[in-house]
Amino acid sequence: MKNVYESPLNARYASSEMQQIFSPDMKFTTWRKLWIALAEAEKELGLNITDAQIEQMKNNQDNINYEVAEKYEKQFRHDVMSHVHAFGELCPDAKPIIHLGATSCYVGDNTDIIVMSEALKLVKSKMLVLIKKLSDFAMEYKDLPTLGFTHYQPAQLVTVGKRATLWIQELLMDMEDLEHVIKNMKLLGSKGTTGTQASFLNLFDGDHEKVKKLEKLIAEKMGFKNVFAVSGQTYPRKLDSRVLGVLSGIAQSAYKFSNDMRLLQSMKEIEEPFEEKQIGSSAMAYKRNPMRCERISSLARYVIVDALNPAITASTQWFERTLDDSANKRISVPEAFLATDAILNIYINVASGLVVYPKVITKHIMDELPFMATENIMMEAVKRGGDRQELHELIRAHSMEAGKRVKVDGEKNDLIERIAGDARFGMTLDELNAVLEPKNYIGRSSEQVVEFIENEVKPILTRESLADIQVDLKV
């Protein structure tokens, strides 16, 4: 029996890839890479650091001696210094120059930025796969008429594919924000205790150019083009708010899709995948609950609310540094990514296996289309010599009676039969039924789908390589 709490985000929802990005191994290996980059840059700029010292650090980069670090942390109550000493035990020759001139945020903050950057790239790769899945679905069903809804009341017809473009368009907006944030991720660099670089200026005997070059070299070695131009001790906590704002946007888009799907599944028009042995309810064996979309809704709500954490943290930092951000960051940022990762996994899974029921969709259309077709019927009757005002009143009266028959008596909508039986319209039942062709009421839905996919979606999918992402939901 497991007797300690385990986050459901790890146990049930998030992928192993995202978990690895936020793992201790990733964190502490990156710390060591940063120490190596610092030592290399300092050596290149003239400090007395040897190749042998750097080689010893590189040889032990991935050899994280956790037990030793934990021993030191109990003694020092300082996580960075505990790992400095643990690394130093593995690299005795390099021990004197590890972390030279740096403050804790050199490894802590730069690593956070590197980790978030990697996580954002994984989110982007899954977003691209998702957009491709939904685009294929939109094209497949671009011509299938379906009831549109405003206020969740039947409205003018759209197509199933056209509705899917609304889901995709929101994801494209998220993709724009995501790419902007990825493009503008910057390292903290080597700023020192209050951001003045005083320790490094001292190391290089007052040579400002070498201090500036040091940051540039470190950034290049860590795969970044830029560092923040100025900072306090930390990178601006506004960055965390910006990053989680993007994740919140993705969650919002997924939430909208999941709500639409839950309504469509209730109407029996479109369903999420339902496996052969899947149980919908422990009591009601016949049920096919939209549990995957409900899970999207649930996790999305969490991400949207979680995005408030860095927003509040960013707004309440004091001067150059306070530590009231640390505990919150350790929880809110990784969990936002893990939850967003889970949302995208489920969304991809659902989008890959949507089940459409055209006959049910058509039945719902035909229950409502007689009401929607009345304007066309009235115009045709006027062409045949009828009085527009008189016909309008007749249609209103017939519609009220047909509506009463549907709502009160639970009977079929007989509006068309009523109009056919009214000689003042001068139209036969066959002529009226010809007016009730659903494709006559979808406007440019089909064309809009094709144009949207060609002009908005394909350029993105063409310039990006789609990752081979296989989504295997744990539960």
List the catalytic residues. Answer: 151, 281
CA-CA distance, 259 to 459, in Å (whole number)? 28
Please tell me whether residue 366 adopts helix, strand or coil conformation: helix
CA-CA distance, 248 to 269, in Å (whole number)? 29
**C-beta atoms surrounding 106 within 10 Å:** 24
| CA distances in angstroms from 337 to 122, 123, 252, 332, 348, listed in the order given | 10, 8, 14, 9, 16
Using alpha carbons, select from 178, 170, 179, 168 the residue that is nearest to residue 131: 168
First to last CA, the chain: 19
Phi/psi for 159 (5° steps) reads: -125, 160
Using alpha carbons, select from 172, 77, 263 the residue that is nearest to residue 461: 172
Q: Are 38 and 219 in contact (CB under 8 A)?
A: no
344's CB contacts (< 8 A; 6+ apart) are: 123, 126, 127, 130, 250, 254
CA-CA distance, 57 to 100, in Å (whole number)? 14
CA-CA distance, 388 to 248, in Å (whole number)? 52
